[in-house]
């Protein structure tokens, strides 16, 4: 019996070892679980890996997803599928969230993808001596209390889900978003609520960009809309123009969220559309 920490994931090789027991497996990352499982069964003998968690403590959604993934992916060469699933659990599944580790969490997965694509285009243009493409405009930050992801039971293939996330991250116009919605419904059937929310959030981002809005977040039970250079605008005129459903302060436009989810979603779209009109008037 060898009692050890996770140090053995670095490459311990005992071909005769055929049983692995991991305590509190819910505290490990998916790549760690995969590497630990690979420490047994390295010879010709059938091996077993047991991953335990404390039964009196409920698992987080992420921990449950990690354990389910390691239990499902048992075939040879499963590393690629596990890596895709790990990316999705930690960040790609939440298109505008900050769960992904490293630099991606600082900018969001969608903006990271767009920045990477722009960097590749600029590098190719440099090598060919062509005119460099313009830099991306700074994308608004959207953080709304909505579940936004592609459910595995709607698109079972993890690689395909990741490709869909990447495509949606590149959508810039309402027309493109509507076309994506039609394609999803045609390929996979009726769209579930999490994808409706995801498409709605993409529409909000497109509207916010046109309305000169830098961020839309929730705070103290309200929706906070940060308008660029708001201090230089006539806030009294803006308040009258937007109506009584919002409150214009020195730093942001505030909208109540004490309505149903559908009602405040519709109201937010209307406010952003009116902000576009106000900006054009200005």
- Dump pLDDT digits (tens) for 30-80: 888 888 888 888 777 788 889 898 888 788 888 888 888 888 887 777 777
- Distance, in Å, from the CA atom of 92 to the CA atom of 98, rounded to the nearest integer, reads 10
Residues 6+ apart with CB under 8 A from 202: 95, 168, 171, 177
With contact defined as beta carbons under 8 Å apart, do 271 and 245 qualify?
A: yes
Q: Which is the CATH superfamily of the domain at 140-281? A: Transcription-repair-coupling factor, D7 domain (3.90.1150.50)
| Residue 191 binned pLDDT confidence (cut-offs 50, 70, 90) | very high
Domain ranges of the chain: 6-72, 140-281
Q: What is the pTM of this model?
A: 0.56
- Report the DSSP pairing between strands 141-142 and 213-219: parallel
pLDDT tens column, 203-237: 999 999 888 888 898 887 889 998 887 777 787 88
C-alpha of 102 from chain center = 14
Residue 83: phi and psi, rounded to 5, are: -65, -40
Architecture of domain 6-72: 3-Layer(aba) Sandwich (3.40)
Instruction: Give the Cα separation of 191 and 188 in Å (integer).
Output: 8
């Amino acid at each position: 019996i060898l009692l050890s920490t996770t140090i053995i994931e670095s490459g311990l090789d005992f071909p005769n070892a055929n049983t692995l027991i991991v305590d509190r497996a819910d505290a490990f990352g998916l790549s760690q679980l995969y590497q630990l499982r690979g420490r047994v069964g390295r010879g010709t003998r059938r091996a077993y890996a047991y991953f335990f968690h404390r039964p009196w403590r409920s698992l987080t959604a992420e921990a449950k997803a990690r354990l389910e993934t390691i239990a499902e992916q048992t075939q040879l060469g499963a590393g690629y599928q596990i890596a895709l699933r790990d990316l999705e659990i930690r960040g790609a599944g939440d298109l505008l969230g900050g769960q992904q580790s490293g630099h991606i969490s600082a900018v969001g997965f969608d903006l990271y993808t767009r920045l990477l694509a722009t960097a590749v285009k600029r590098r190719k243009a440099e090598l060919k001596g062509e005119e460099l493409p313009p830099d991306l405009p700074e994308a608004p930050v959207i953080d709304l209390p909505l579940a936004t992801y592609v459910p595995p039971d709607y698109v079972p293939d993890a690689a395909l889900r990741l490709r869909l996330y990447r495509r949606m991250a590149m959508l810039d116009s309402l027309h493109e978003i509507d076309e994506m919605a039609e394609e999803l419904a045609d390929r996979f059937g009726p769209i579930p609520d999490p994808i409706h929310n995801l498409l709605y959030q993409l529409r909000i981002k497109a509207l916010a960009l046109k309305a000169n809005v830098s961020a839309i977040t929730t705070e103290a039970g309200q929706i906070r809309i940060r308008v660029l250079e708001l201090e230089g605008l006539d806030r009294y005129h803006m308040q009258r123009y937007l109506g009584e459903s919002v409150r214009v302060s020195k730093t942001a436009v505030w909208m109540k969220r004490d309505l149903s989810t559908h009602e405040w979603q519709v109201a937010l779209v209307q406010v952003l559309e009116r902000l576009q009109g106000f900006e054009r008037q200005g």
